[in-house]
Structure 1
Amino acid sequence: MSSVVTSRCFGCKYTDCVVVCPVESFFEGEQMLFIDPEICVDCDACIPECPVEAIYAEDDVPPEEHPFIALNAEMAPKCPPIVSKKAPLAAE
């Protein structure tokens, strides 16, 4: 099980979450972040750090957001890792 970034991140891409991740499981897409479920250790440290409440524990992902479970697994390996805070898209 892992944490999952959902639709609320799209177009915002806040990165407060990446600096608290102990295993560097975040990856940066053009419009949102993704968590690699193969790396995530399910510590939940990132969940309270997201200012738009886009991150959920996999078991808590709302039904309408379930496609993002597979999307994170698909996209994380295709994107570069992100480990430091950047300005969000919402602020650009």
Structure 2
Amino acid sequence: MTSLDIAFMTVLWNRILERFDKTSVKLQEKSLDLSVAVKLLKSLREYIGSIRNNFNDIEKVALSLSKVISKKYNTEKKRKIIRKLTPDEMIRNE
């Protein structure tokens, strides 16, 4: 990984998906009580809400993934916008 954007998103989504997976496994237990299920879902919602406050921690982990990661986000790169022509426009231009 050479892009901080990719490394950051990898760390972020890894944390989110791990938590979803653990919650999902618990919710699928046959002996699960309804009150426990509600607590698990509330906890998951709170975790997702609180993950925004962990931006600096996630960024540090992303930077530590590789020594070649640039310390800048790729905000300069923009995709070139190409408008697709309709069949009418193609005929007129020929």
* TM-score normalised by L of structure 1: 0.29
Greater share of strand residues, 1 or 2? 1
Greater share of helix residues, 1 or 2? 2
Question: Which of the two has higher C-alpha Rg?
Answer: 2
Where relative contact order (Cα < 8 A, 6+ residues apart) is larger, the structure is: 2
* TM-score normalised by L of structure 2: 0.28
